[in-house]
């Protein structure tokens, strides 16, 4: 059972969010667990990273990648500008339960949900909410939407509207 918040954040929005991650004492890593700087993230063409806290327990699969279902982390999927002035939404996602090798449902520690909720509350406070109330948009992304005609996309054919 996971939780997610979907958003559109670009450029300055993302820099502010990464600064928040650092202020919380957390780090961003890639799918192999390599710690990345804010510059690494901003300059990357990759769309998915992971937020780790000091108390995070990380489990690796046999192929050397982080097992995102079992590990204590928050997935950070970036908003990406696609062709034809379209922006694909990003999200924060946290898995709070998983099935172990015995088929038992295991709940993760409460601190992980609390950490996710702290990030979620920051986004809800700082960003505008969509008309459908399912997405949030940062200032830089909103300026592209409002003044430069960019479309914020929920799917390849479904546009998200903001006031």
pLDDT tens series, the chain, 163 aa: 699 999 999 999 999 999 999 999 999 999 999 999 999 999 999 999 999 999 999 999 999 999 999 999 999 999 999 888 999 999 999 999 999 989 999 999 999 999 999 999 999 999 999 999 999 999 999 999 999 999 999 999 999 999 9
Q: What pLDDT shows up at residue 1?
A: 67
Could you list the beta-strand ranges (E) of 9-158. 27-29, 35-36, 48-52, 74-77, 80-82, 86-88, 90-95, 97-99, 105-107, 128-129, 135-137, 151-153
SS3 content of the chain, % helix, strand, coil (to 5): 25, 30, 40
pTM: 0.94
Tell me how far apart the alpha carbons of residues 29 and 35 are, in angstroms, rounded to a whole number.
4
Q: What pLDDT shows up at residue 83?
A: 82
C-alpha of 31 from chain center: 14
């Amino acid at each position: 059972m996971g939780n997610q918040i979907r958003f559109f954040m670009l450029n300055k929005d993302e820099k502010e969010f990464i600064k928040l991650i650092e202020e919380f004492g957390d780090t961003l890593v890639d799918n192999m667990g390599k710690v990345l700087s804010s510059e690494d993230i901003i300059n990357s063409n990759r769309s998915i990273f992971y937020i780790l806290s000091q108390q995070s327990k990380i489990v690796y699969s046999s192929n050397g990648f982080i097992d995102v279902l079992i590990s204590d982390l928050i997935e950070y999927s970036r908003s990406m500008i696609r062709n034809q002035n379209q922006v694909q939404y990003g999200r924060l996602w946290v898995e709070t339960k998983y099935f172990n090798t015995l088929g038992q449902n295991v709940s993760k520690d409460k601190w992980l949900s609390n950490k996710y909720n702290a990030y979620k509350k920051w986004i809800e406070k700082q960003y505008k909410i969509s008309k459908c109330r399912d997405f949030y948009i940062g200032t830089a992304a909103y300026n592209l939407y409002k003044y430069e005609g960019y479309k914020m996309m929920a799917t390849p054919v479904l546009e998200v509207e903001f006031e």
